[in-house]
A and B are shown apart, each in its own frame.
Chain A
């Protein structure tokens, strides 16, 4: 755990169904990480993770808070939503599995890549979901991580 003094924190509220602003939080996170001087590959992985997580909220949940904590060694993102939850997490983690509606697919989302893509780009990935309450993602991307997108 890095010392509190060397951690930069910011919260991003995300509203479910708000397609007009979808992706804004992820963009802001990406800009911030660049300004903090993180390397391009870490920024790219974090951008992909943040984008996918934000889109999941927009598409399925009522609302969520994305908590970002950046220290020199890692990007820590916690996304906690209030929403329907995921009945079968294992199934949702399968590549290509998606419950996206036709409209969502029309917009280019819901290829069933979201959660697996997040996991692929993260160094630490934990998911906790309760049906009827919501889903919590806990993601760490290390600046010296080995995963490349």
Chain B
């Protein structure tokens, strides 16, 4: 499963009508439309799912784990993202949601809010011990890690080397459960439940681990109907939920899925939260330009408002956010994690990356600098002959990208119906 080019986002050709919505929405210009179908360039795709959000024909889908695939395991464990607590309206309590998951077939279900709190405490300790570099960038959002590898390779060393809560939780369970249950490790399936398509990418091709501790990720959207059904049943049979122990929710970790939630628990460090893919890229540009060095930690999540805005959720993100804020307020500053435990795990490197994030292969115009310079000049010439209207008719998102594709040998100038014949720059005509 260690496929280096694994992607969660795919285009279903049968449904794609070759319109240009996805192409213009893609922040890394990874989509082209050719022969009436959209195509994703693997090397450029960061699995941010902006295309999935805008496709009017549901032709973009994400590979997540199917519920049926869990049959391969004797013992099934779910660790749902805290986003799930915001999906069912104000009358449904987190404990009921966890119980519902047990009822639909998980042998055990664990809350992540406490691990989020643990992660926050470990982050605080790491920042105190490491004065440089600044700012560190949180690795929680797998898309942020991937965009740094591809577009901001010089920032790889600034990714905070502490695994995100989902991996820490799975690692703890993987360490404890086989012994506690007497079941062989490979027969225990640990599954994340998430609104995020990119989690499958971080599970199948982890950027910082030899192997992910998770066995898969089910989308909230897929499992939602079953949870709803189980919740209705438990109304009739409300005693059921008393069969399960009460979970202690962490007030510090409960809001983790909202932008700013990750850094809310930091007491002695200056942290800033950014959300949305375009703002994230703008801020990473500034960091690469040497700015923001007075900030200790940068929390970047590419979904709007944080993970709660993930495309595979069900409830709209505003209502989900409002519900989670209610839960955060109800939980208050309630801490469930013992600082000494965190410190012990932290110093045993239990929470650390296996290896640092390494830059992805870069994509220069040519591997020879001399040829690359020649191609850049040629590209400028080609661009001068293009209309600069970025209409997308050629199948590239904008004129600049078409010119780039042409010098790289992926497209021909004939793709543009408006291109001026060589030697007559389009700009002159504009002035007439």
Contacts and interface: CB of A to CB of B under 8 A. Distances in A.
A27 B369 contact: no
Interface in A1-54: 6-8, 10, 23, 26-27, 30, 32, 34-38, 40-41, 43-44, 47-48, 50-52
B289 A36 contact: no
Interface string B258-295: 00000000000000000000000000011011111010
A10 B369 CA distance: 17
- Which size bracket describes the interface of B in this complex? 20 to 34
B209 interface: no
Given A35-B365, A71-B373, A23 B290 contact: no
A149 interface: yes
A51 B369 contact: no
Nearest to B133: A149
B289 A26 contact: yes
Contacts of B285: 23, 27, 30
B359 interface: yes
A27 B284 CA distance: 11
A36 B369 contact: yes
Nearest to A37: B364
B287 to A, nearest CB: 10
Nearest to A44: B154
Contacts of B290: 47-48, 51-52, 117, 149
Contacts of B372: 35-37
Given A47-B288, A48-B290, A36 B373 contact: yes
Interface in B352-373: 359, 362-370, 372-373
A70 interface: yes
Contacts of A37: 362, 364-369, 372
B286 A23 contact: yes
B153 A40 contact: yes
A6 B376 contact: no
> B366, B373, B380: which has the most chain A beta carbons within 10 Å?
B373
A8 B376 contact: yes
B377 interface: yes
Contacts of B288: 30, 44, 47
A50 B373 CA distance: 19
Contact of B291 (A30, A35, A51): A51
Interface of A: 6-8, 10, 23, 26-27, 30, 32, 34-38, 40-41, 43-44, 47-48, 50-52, 70-72, 108, 111, 117, 149
23 contacts: A8-B376, A8-B377, A23-B286, A30-B288, A32-B376, A34-B362, A34-B364, A35-B363, A35-B364, A35-B365, A35-B376, A35-B404, A36-B373, A37-B362, A37-B365, A37-B372, A40-B153, A41-B154, A48-B290, A50-B289, A51-B286, A51-B291, A108-B292
